Amino acid sequence: MAEVRNICFSYGKKHVLQNLNLSVQNGECLVLAGPNGSGKSTALSIIAGAVKPSSGEVIADGRIGYVPQGNALFEDASVKDNLKFFAGLAGCTVPQKLCFGVERYAAQKVSALSGGMKKQVSIACALLAEPDIILFDEPCDSLDIGYRDEFIELVQGLKSRGKTIIYVGHDPLEFAAFYDKLLFLGSDPPRLFSRAELSGSSEHLEDFCINYKNLFK
């Protein structure tokens, strides 16, 4: 479970988040959506504990795994050493089999990987310690379409194991299959939508895409 209560945050004089509230239960996925610059990444970095809010509180019931929007890896180190480092931080070992089969890149330097390969490694690092709460910040932005189904299955698997997911993404086709509710940060105050409101009872993907797009108008 993760909860955010009345979070405010400013960069200098620029107010980015004003009294943000959200809550996500175990086994549930909340999508944070909104136009560029609406504060999605800032909100995730606050929930992850990487940035301190000006006021408000975060209640996180368990260990957090964070896939940031930028590259979280040590570029000059090998994939294997990155995995060992993040496993060491979390007090766990590196399993032989990892998501997306990233173990096959083990010997390569991160700097030699493509953007999508780095994202796969970043996701694998975030999931090493079986975190209870997983924060995904645009995880699919550089993943090629061939990995989309595997990614969706990965998130569905996490949900079925009771994990709490907060997901930032732009393309509704990424999260249509696994989201439970969506908080739109592009309005003041942010608006919360249930899956039933956006996808409708007939769950037509096309309807969901239209409803989602209309939020941005």
Residues in contact with ligand ADP by CB under 6 A are 11, 16, 34, 36-42
Task: Tell me if 41 contacts Mg ion by CB under 5 A.
Answer: yes
Q: Which is nearer to ligand ADP, 37 or 157 (CB)?
A: 37
The answer to whether residues 99 and 120 touch, using CB atoms and an 8 Å cutoff, is: yes
Stretch touching Mg ion by CB under 5 A, among 39-47, 83-91, 95-103, 126-134: 39-47
**Closest distance of CB 163 from ligand ADP, Å:** 22
Task: Tell me if 38 contacts Mg ion by CB under 5 A.
Answer: no
H-helix segments, the chain: 40-47, 79-90, 115-127, 148-160, 172-175, 195-199, 205-215
Q: What are phi and psi of 174, to 5 degrees?
A: -70, -45
Of the candidates 160, 208, 156, the residue with the CA atom closest to the CA atom of residue 33: 208
Give just the sign of the alpha carbon dihedral 116, 118, 121, 126: negative
Site size toward Mg ion, by CB under 5 A = 3
- Partner from Mg ion, ligand ADP, none binding residue 94, C-beta < 5-8 Å depending on class: none
Distance of CA 145 to the CA centre of its chain: 18
- Partner from Mg ion, ligand ADP, none binding residue 119, C-beta < 5-8 Å depending on class: none
- Partner from ligand ADP, Mg ion, none binding residue 214, C-beta < 5-8 Å depending on class: none
Q: What are phi and psi of 139, to 5 degrees?
A: -65, -25
Q: Which is nearer to ligand ADP, 86 or 184 (CB)?
A: 184
Could you give the C-alpha distances from 51 to 54, 57, 58, 60, 122, in angstroms and in order?
Answer: 10, 12, 11, 15, 19
Tell me which residue has tokens 């209640």.
Answer: 59
Q: In the complex, which residue's CB is closest to Mg ion?
A: 41
**Closest distance of CB 99 from ligand ADP, Å:** 24
Tell me which residue has tokens 């895409």.
Answer: 209
- Partner from Mg ion, ligand ADP, none binding residue 36, C-beta < 5-8 Å depending on class: ligand ADP
Q: Which is nearer to ligand ADP, 36 or 202 (CB)?
A: 36
- Partner from ligand ADP, Mg ion, none binding residue 199, C-beta < 5-8 Å depending on class: none
**Closest distance of CB 67 from Mg ion, Å:** 12
Q: Which is nearer to Mg ion, 83 or 119 (CB)?
A: 119
- Partner from Mg ion, ligand ADP, none binding residue 34, C-beta < 5-8 Å depending on class: ligand ADP
**186 burial via Cβ count (<10 Å: 0-12, 13-18, 19+):** middle
Residues making contact with Mg ion (CB under 5 A): 40-41, 69
